[in-house]
Amino acid sequence: MVLQLQTSGIGGTMSHLKVTLPTVILLGGFLVCSTASYGKPEYTKSTKKACTVCHVDSKAKPKELTDAGKYFAEHKNLDGYKEKK
């Protein structure tokens, strides 16, 4: 009888971990993947481009621009921009 109580206690804990652990990992992944946004959403809507087209590294250096970003800063659009190869 004592063995069954200990086993069911462990089984209950393991069952709880089967649900809790994946949930914690999933929520942690969302937290890590979501970043603070320094750009303006209307820029991505108007250009239909990702933030990384204009920004070198949006996490480490959000204000450092690529050539496309510098072009956009001057002209307020990417029409006529030719990517250097």
pLDDT at 17: 84
| Tokens describing residue 58 | 């949006």
Count other Cβ atoms within 10 Å, centred on residue 55: 19
Does 45 share its domain with 56? yes
Give how many domains the chain has, as a whole number: 2
> What's the domain range around 53?
36-80
Q: Which residues contact 74 (CB under 8 A, 6 or more apart)?
A: none
Q: How far apart are CA 38 and CA 82, in angstroms?
A: 25
Per residue in 43-68, pLDDT (tens digit) is: 888 888 888 888 888 677 767 889 99
Looking at the structure, tell me whether residues 75 and 41 fall in a common domain: yes
User: With contact defined as beta carbons under 8 Å apart, do 67 and 85 qualify?
Assistant: no
Q: How confident is the model at residue 1 (pLDDT cuts 50, 70, 90)?
A: very low
pLDDT in tens, 4-50: 444 455 567 778 888 899 999 988 887 776 654 455 778 888 888 88
Chain-centroid distance of CA 33 in Å reads 3
